[in-house]
Amino acid sequence: MYSFIVAILLAPIMVKAQVGVSGAQAPQSADYSPAEIANGTAFSNVSLIANENMQYNLVHRNSTNCTYYNAHRRREWRTLPPAARKCFTDAVTCLISMAPMRMTADEAPYYPGVRSRYDEYVATHINYTFNIHDTANFFAWHRAFIHFWEQDLRTLCGYDGFLPYWDWSLDAAAPQNSPLFVGDAYSMGSNGVFVANRSDTWLAAQNVTYPPGTGGGCVRSGPFVNYTVNLGPLDLPHAVNVQSPFRYNPRCLTRDLNPWFSQNYNTFTNLTHTMLDNIYISDFQATVQGYGSESNRFGIHGGGHWMGGGSMSDFHSSPSDPVFFLHHGQIDRIWTIWQNLDIYRRQNAIYGTSTLGNEPPSAEMTLDDMLPFGLVADDVRFGDVMDTFGGPFCYRYV
């Protein structure tokens, strides 16, 4: 009752804040009704406010020739015309068929599973799994990672569009019915073949037993039906053998679209509260990833991986499924919105060390640290990848 009254008293101030005045307070959950939060109306309002702030504040950014109007636009998958979707998946297939680029002959024996340029991304994610999740650089590392991949599609594979993202909150009720997975030539490919009576659904790390999803087997139709996944999975946490994480293990791409995860972790309610109820980067990044809370063991990030299931749910080799990049497009979009809601405080806000859960303990990261990109690209300075209008970037989400 008390907070309800406060919300009413603050309402005129909130409306004023929404024009993007410098240092203005970001919107809060109390500004919206539970119904508006649940059906996505609140989140669209929040993303429009962030977009207005972004436009308003661009004049203060360190960008030179990157403007609101010439910035590349990343779109939600279902808003792309069918032909554009196919251009995208054709380019992905091109990367999957392309020989490794940066791996030298000397390095090759260490990475027996790396057979393609695409695999260089998977191997690099495997290599740094414990240094890019539940760390200070989680958002920034994945932002740069998907950017390099988008660049490769464009420069190596003739793709003239940009990375699409997957707004899974639109599909949270039944991800198996998502237009992304209808399985025709214009989709991201089908669900996996249904596998009955599975009992392998206890997740030790989270101590959670989940109901099996709607697939479980090989993707049966669509653009990636002939794709051979070469690396992973790595079920052993903290594998010690340097060669085993990169072993050659050819198999089909699997999926297991699972409404239990999406309904519990990826609804508009989950997304909107994650966005509005965490004003510090430490809380925001922990909530997104499902760390530090008994009642939220996956977060929207983990929920997205497990809603995809199969190849997407392996912590280490999840980039094997191209859907990884659309999911991380959405995660990057969410971070970008969060940053823009309070750009002066959040643009360069980081918190944490470079080891998962600070285990083993490592130094607090700074924006001058270099982020490693292994076989993907040259390392980048942390501070250069905080702004989607600065450093190597010039893009926004629409």
Ligand X SMILES: *[C@@H]1O[C@H](CO)[C@@H](O)[C@H](O)[C@H]1NC(C)=O
- In the list 129, 270, 272, 330, the residue contacting ligand X (rule: CB under 6 A) is 270
| Of 100, 212, 215, 223, the one binding ligand X by CB under 6 A | 223
* Dihedral angle sign, alpha carbons of residues 170, 172, 173, 174: positive
Which of 123/234 has CB closer to ligand X?
123
CA distance 194 to 190: 11
Binding segment for ligand X (CB under 6 A), chosen from 158-166, 220-228, 248-256, 330-338, is: 220-228
Q: Does 226 bind ligand X (CB under 6 A)?
A: yes
49 forms part of the interface with ligand X (CB under 6 A): yes
Please answer whether residues 301 and 288 qualify as being in contact, where contact means their C-beta atoms are separated by less than 8 angstroms: yes
Which of 70, 155 has the CB closer to ligand X? 70
CA dist list (Å): 303 to 6, 59, 137, 288? 33, 36, 20, 9
- Cα distances from 5 to residues 8, 28, 84, in angstroms, run 5, 14, 49
Instruction: Name the residue type at position 233.
Output: P
Cis peptide, bond prior to residue 360, ω within 30 of zero? yes
Which one of residues 372, 380, 385, 388 is an interface residue with ligand X (CB under 6 A)?
372
Q: What's the CA gap between 311 and 126, in Å, rounded?
A: 13
- Candidate residues 70, 104, 155, 241; the one interacting with ligand X per rule CB under 6 A: 70
Tokens 């027996």 belong to which residue?
112
Sole binder of ligand X in the list 178, 296, 313, 336 (CB under 6 A): 296
Give me the residue whose beta carbon is nearest to ligand X. 374
- From the list 105, 196, 204, 242, which residue makes contact with ligand X (rule: CB under 6 A)? 196
Count CA atoms closer than 13 A to 362's CA, side-chain side: 19
Stretch that binds ligand X, among 81-89, 154-162, 306-314, 369-377 (CB under 6 A): 369-377
> Of 10 and 225, which CB lies nearer to ligand X in the complex structure?
225
Question: Does position 366 bind ligand X by CB under 6 A?
Answer: no
What mask of x and - would describe binding to ligand X in positions 328 to 347, judged by CB under 6 A? -------------------x
Residues 6+ apart with CB under 8 A from 235: 314
Whole-number Å distance between alpha carbons of 364 and 351: 7
CB 50, min distance to ligand X, A: 9
How far apart, in whole angstroms, are the C-alpha atoms of residue 253 and residue 250? 10
What does the per-residue mask of binding to ligand X show for 103-142, with x meaning CB under 6 A? --------------------xx--x---------------
Q: Among candidates 82, 333, 294, which has minimal Cα distance to 184?
A: 82
CB distance 172 to 184 below 8 Å: no
Site residues (vs ligand X, CB under 6 A):
15, 18, 33, 35-36, 39, 41, 45, 48-49, 52, 61-62, 65-66, 70, 123-124, 127, 196-197, 207, 223, 225-226, 264-265, 267, 269-270, 295-296, 347-348, 372, 374-375, 387, 390, 394
